[in-house]
Amino acid sequence: MCTAITYKSKNFYFGRNLDYDFSYGESVVITPRNYTFVMKHTDDIQSHYAIIGMALVTQNYPLYFDAMNEKGLCMAGLNFVNNACYESKEVTNKVNVASFEFIPYILSLCSTINEVKDTLSKMVLRDTPFAEGMQPGQLHWLIADKDNNCITVEYMKDGMHVYDNPTGVLTNNPPFPLQLFNLNNYQGLSNAQPVNTFAKDIPLECYSRGMGGLGLPGDLSSMSRFVKAAFTRSFAKSNEDEDSSVSQFFHLLTSVEQQRGCCDVGEGKYEITLYSSCCSTNTGIYYYTTYDRHQITAVNINHADLDSNKLITYPLLVKDTIYHQN
């Protein structure tokens, strides 16, 4: 399972928790402008915007989980099991894009959400696997640009759905309209202390800080994480400088992270937050932490040769260093 969010201070930030019970061997990958994306059903993309994000590189191809391009357009794919359904046959008069190509295709060609919407209207997603034995991931996507425009894309049996996303949040099942409707159940929650509207003739007291949020979900299910992330993001405040904003962003993701032992998936395995990421659309920096390394690590797309034609890979730093102060 996963949670993706956006956050706006002075600048715009985008990122996610990737929650699973094992790692894919992912790394931070920069795809320069002249790397050729070999496409399954349409023309290869030989020149494009540079991209940075978390990916599994196999057969010299970056299978991105989440990423940002040099124009500040960001995109993340999250599990959407038993709901995602792609086209099995060619659709004429449309650009046919394999689902694993979706993130690089959009980030290669688009710089704004308006451009994304136009591109989406001309394409379909296919269920073509990357390679034999690799089934297409059942995903839906959060996409946002640096101007804080945000959409959710879901491809189901009845085709593609593109939703404006006012929450800046995406988790997993159920489909996005149901997640959004479920927020109606929590509209009475607040960051302020509650006022007694229950029984004015009874002298009720606020015996603790934070009682305005009573009823806020705290479990790890996808609907609960959606509500918790939407609430936390809605009230989050930080200074507007980069360090403060990035720090706050990771605090938001921490509010819905998964700890080892709390989500048992059987056979002695537990789902955990393998990594958390933050894309800074103004600076071009991809920040990340991992389960065993809370120190924030930064990779700057602008420090790489963006006119190259070869992938640039940065292995994840995964071991915490504890600073002993005495």
Which of the residues are catalytic?
A: 2
Neighbours of 243 (CB within 10 A): 10
Closest CA to 280 of 244, 315, 232: 244
Cβ pair 113, 145 in contact under 8 A:
yes
Q: Does the bond joining 32 to the residue before it have cis omega, within 30 degrees of 0?
A: no
Cα distance between residue 78 and residue 140, in whole Å: 6
Cβ pair 112, 143 in contact under 8 A:
no
Cα distance between residue 30 and residue 300, in whole Å: 9
Show the CA angle centred on residue 145, arms to residues 143 and 151, nearest 5°.
35
CA distances 130 to 38, 104, 231, Å, are: 11, 13, 37
Q: What are phi and psi of 247, to 5 degrees?
A: -60, -45
Q: Which two tokens stand for residue 115?
A: 């451009």
Can you point out the beta strands (E) in the chain?
A: 2-8, 12-20, 27-31, 51-58, 61-69, 74-79, 95-98, 123-126, 139-144, 150-156, 159-164, 169-170, 264-266, 269-270, 272-280, 285-290, 293-300, 312-314
